[in-house]
Structure 1
């Protein structure tokens, strides 16, 4: 029989017949009509080919033709037929892939959660009972528990990092940093104490112990050391030691207190002259009138005051003006007569440009106007006694503090005297922040504004940098 008769009609050009050995050629037979049914395959390739039904071959039937697919573009038309369980196996594989994806997604979420917790613990500092130390990379290495080793070193970003628009958990927002790191610590406020007595603080410290701490702690960046007891600073080597221990940004004022007007000798005046010859002495303090003493001493105070005014050229004149106590002559809620007497004496001996520091000022607004209109550089120092003004002149004294020009206000503790809390006993220059808070509340401004203004004013008055 001719071999071409074995091929179904119409497929001679589409398949190649692989013929084995010569013995197999004779055993080939033509397929039946059921076996020669054509397989319809859509040209779009969308559905898999369906196998035509066929009868099982018997043992006596010769083997069927083995058709190999061509190497041309018709390969998709002759794919091997799928087995009966192919659809079920494909569906099972899809469910497994989805489960695998869910597992990987949950794993990534857990890892991100762990990293966020570690970053939060690191930002809050070392845990209790764990080791912490500086890192060479600039971060902090913190132990995370027993048996878990140590966390890697994480660097805190110097500036907030904007969140990434590509997805969740891929950036750090400013809100996250603010929640984890909190507010940055602010530098302490700076203040200048324009009047206190270091020698008398040492005497108080030797007798009793200072109790309590300032309610408004500040950094004291300058001050004026006042020495008004000639018996102390006339001792050999006293002022030399003062000048050696004087910190940068500080200055010294030396003078004679009005209460010591009687009993002075030529030796005390010579000690004052030598002290004023040093350029580090920027003021003559405390000079003035104090009528709280017996009235028999008032004349000596006026003479001393006139004599000391001749030494104030080129230096700040630190005035101590105080009225009488009780029902004595010259007593008034606000000692206007004392201010007028001192102002007239200074006008006779000093120019209008004389620099004046009215120490522990407790005057009314009209007294402020009289001083500022008479002298161009009149400054007013306020102490902690403003916190317990009482009596008939209390409201006028507070009005006087409000009326002080902004560029003429000074703060002073007068330590160890005049504390803000009288029951405390005594104070140091570190309580200048409490004094500033009292003045700020009276003037209706912030503490930082008062401290900044008074620091500038004091440095300008005493010619300090």
Structure 2
């Protein structure tokens, strides 16, 4: 009987504590935030962006991170929830950004036509309203876009977001789309799917992303990289994504790790 191959432990990758997970969802009720962040630091992840999916999630979950100064926040209403969004949500977001310096971007916001949770027209309406809020607050934007790229790009162009600080979260497209986004001056954040053999277009695209506009993310608890695919994702596993990207780009993994961490801190305006 063949012995099952053991997965490499992420702490054995030997990465310095300078990494950054630009996008994670750690405020779920089944998370032990203290333990998750301790494992992350032991695996080289110093900085984590926690995404609050709406004002209620922010109010309920912010206190979980009071003891963790290296966690910054993103706040936005996901397109899946667009049908439930109200003007009161926008007002709550405006108030939160005016009082909490740990909020560093409006996001994740955008369009998602893969699922039919909210009508496209409703998604587009509230996407525009949240973009207007970002302009009003002079805030960065983090985009969620799935099977809606043309409409998403049309709205962003129409509202003048070319050249503004914008991060395309969970980028999973090919070189052609990477070039479209990069021409507008935006940053791209790459998740663990880049480690999947069938992600051919993405694996090709990461080779052309400029070094200063590449960020890493887990999108935890989703999209675990190999060799943990199918398991619950968390920031501690980010190093496997970094190593695969470094291999594809022909770079030193430790240098890429540090640079992507700095890119995230620079993009979100975090003190070093």
Check whether TM > 0.5: yes
Q: Pick the aligned partner of 1:222 from 47, 55, 67.
A: 47
| Structure with more of its chain in helix, by fraction | 2
TM-score (norm 2): 0.82
- Corresponding position of 2:178: 368
| 1:444–1:187 Cα change, 3 Å | closer
CA distance in 1, matches of 2:144, 2:130: 13
Of 188, 194, 199, the residue aligned with 2:16 is: 188
Per-residue deviation at 1:243?
Answer: 6.4
Structure 1 residues 429 and 253: alpha-carbon distance in aligned structure 2, compared to 1, 3 A threshold: same
Distance 1:425 1:218 in 2: 17
- Out of 274, 277, 281, the residue aligned to residue 95 of structure 2 is 274
RCO comparison, higher one (Cα < 8 Å, 6+): 2
SS in structure 2 at match of 1:203: coil
Q: In the aligned structure 1, how far is the partner of 2:200 from the partner of 2:255?
A: 23
The correspondence for 2:142, drawn from 288, 309, 318, is: 318
Q: Extract structure 1 runs of 4+ deviating beyond 4 A.
A: none
Please say if residues 17 and 46 of structure 2, whose CA atoms lie closer than 8 Å, have aligned partners that are also in contact.
no
Instruction: Give the corresponding residue for 2:26.
Output: 198
**Higher strand fraction (1 or 2):** 2
Equivalent-residue separation in structure 2 for 1:253 and 1:444 (angstroms)? 32
Kindly indicate whether residue 219 of structure 2 is the aligned counterpart of residue 418 of structure 1. no
Q: 1:295 to 1:274 in 2, by over 3 A?
A: closer
1:299 to 121, 126, 137: 121
Residues 192 and 455 in structure 1, CA contact (< 8 A), matched pair in contact too: yes
Asked whether 1:432 is paired with 2:238, we answer: yes
Q: What runs of 5+ residues in structure 1 fail to find an aligned partner?
A: 1-185, 324-337
Q: 1:460 to 1:205 in 2, by over 3 A?
A: closer
Change (3 A) 1:222 1:296: closer
* Larger deviation, residues 311-320 vs 270-279: 270-279
Residue 72 of structure 2 is aligned to residue 251 of structure 1: yes
Q: Which SS does the other structure have where 2:119 is aligned?
A: helix
Aligned to 2:169: 359
Structure 1 position 250, deviation (Å): 3.4
Give 1:381's aligned residue. 189
Q: How far has the Cα of 1:231 moved from its partner? A: 3.5
2:15–2:254 Cα contact (<8 Å) kept: no
2:247 and 2:206 map into 1 onto residues whose CA distance is 11
Structure 2: tracts of 5 or more residues without a match: 1-13
Alpha-carbon separation, structure 2, partners of 1:432 and 1:371: 24
Look up the SS of the partner of 2:152 in the other structure: helix
Q: What is the distance in 1 between the residues matched to 2:197 and 2:168?
A: 18
* C-alpha contact 1:189 1:448 (8 A) present in aligned 2: no
Give the 3 Å change call, closer, same or farther, for CA 410–296 of structure 1 in structure 2: closer
How does 1:75-114 map onto structure 2 within 5 Å?
Answer: none
TM-score (norm 1): 0.50
Alpha-carbon separation, structure 2, partners of 1:243 and 1:189: 19
Tell me the CA shift for residue 205 of structure 1: 5.4
Q: For residues 400 and 357 of structure 1, do their structure 2 counterparts lie closer, same or farther at Cα, with a shift above 3 Å needed?
A: same
Which of 140, 150, 153 is the equivalent residue of 1:340? 150
